[in-house]
Each structure stands twice: as C-alpha cells, then as structure tokens.
C-alpha cells in the first residue's frame, strides 16, 4: 500500500538522478554507521559499556546482580538452575531459589 501511495503523489524522476541520489545517500549512511561504530568502541574503551549504570539509571545492586539472576527476575522465574558457559566449557552453576541467587 505504501508503494501505491507514494506513486500516486509523486512524479517520476530521471533514472540518472535517482542513481546519483542513491549513491549519495549510501555514502552518507556508510559514514554515519562508521562514526556510530567508532562511538560505541570509544565508550567501551572509556568504561561506559554499561551506560545505564554509568548514567545512574541502574543501581549498584542491579549492576552486581549476575545476568542469569537478572533475567530470571525479569521473566518472573522463582526457582531456576543457572549454568554459566564460556566457549565450550561450563564455568559456573548455581541455583535460584525463591528469587534469591
């Protein structure tokens, strides 16, 4: 439906102009994406990878909660067995009983 809506309300442009603007927009998109990636890498390097904790949105208690326990809490799972895996090896395992890790 969007295609028909646009076609009814706009006039056709020459193909050369369309290709030129497509090239310009793709270059602009590439530059913006590259700069955004650089900004993410810079923030990780400067220690702002967990931006919610850095800006005070997440408390120290929430920050220290293991990810498995945090997800169990988010999903409302009261009793669970959590396995931490790194690569192909089991690193740790613990039980969550009544929401407490």
Q: Could you report the per-residue pLDDT of 66-85, keeping only the tens digit for each? A: 888 888 888 988 888 999 99
pTM: 0.53
| Residue 81 DSSP SS3 | strand
CA distance 27 to 23: 6
Q: Which residue has the tokens 């407490």?
A: 100
pLDDT, tens only, 28-68 = 999 999 999 999 999 889 888 888 888 889 888 888 888 88
3-state secondary structure of 83: strand
- Residue 73 has a pLDDT of 86
Q: How far apart are CA 101 and CA 87, in angstroms?
A: 23
């Amino acid at each position: 439906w969007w295609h028909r809506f646009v076609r009814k309300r706009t006039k056709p442009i020459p193909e050369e102009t369309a290709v030129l603007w497509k090239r310009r927009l793709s270059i602009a998109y590439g530059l913006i994406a590259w700069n955004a990636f650089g900004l993410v890498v810079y923030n990780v390097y400067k220690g702002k990878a967990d931006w919610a904790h850095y800006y005070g949105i997440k408390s120290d208690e929430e920050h220290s909660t293991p990810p498995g326990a945090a997800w169990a809490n988010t999903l409302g799972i009261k009793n669970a067995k959590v396995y931490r895996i790194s690569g192909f090896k089991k690193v740790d395992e613990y039980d969550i009983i009544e929401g407490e890790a």
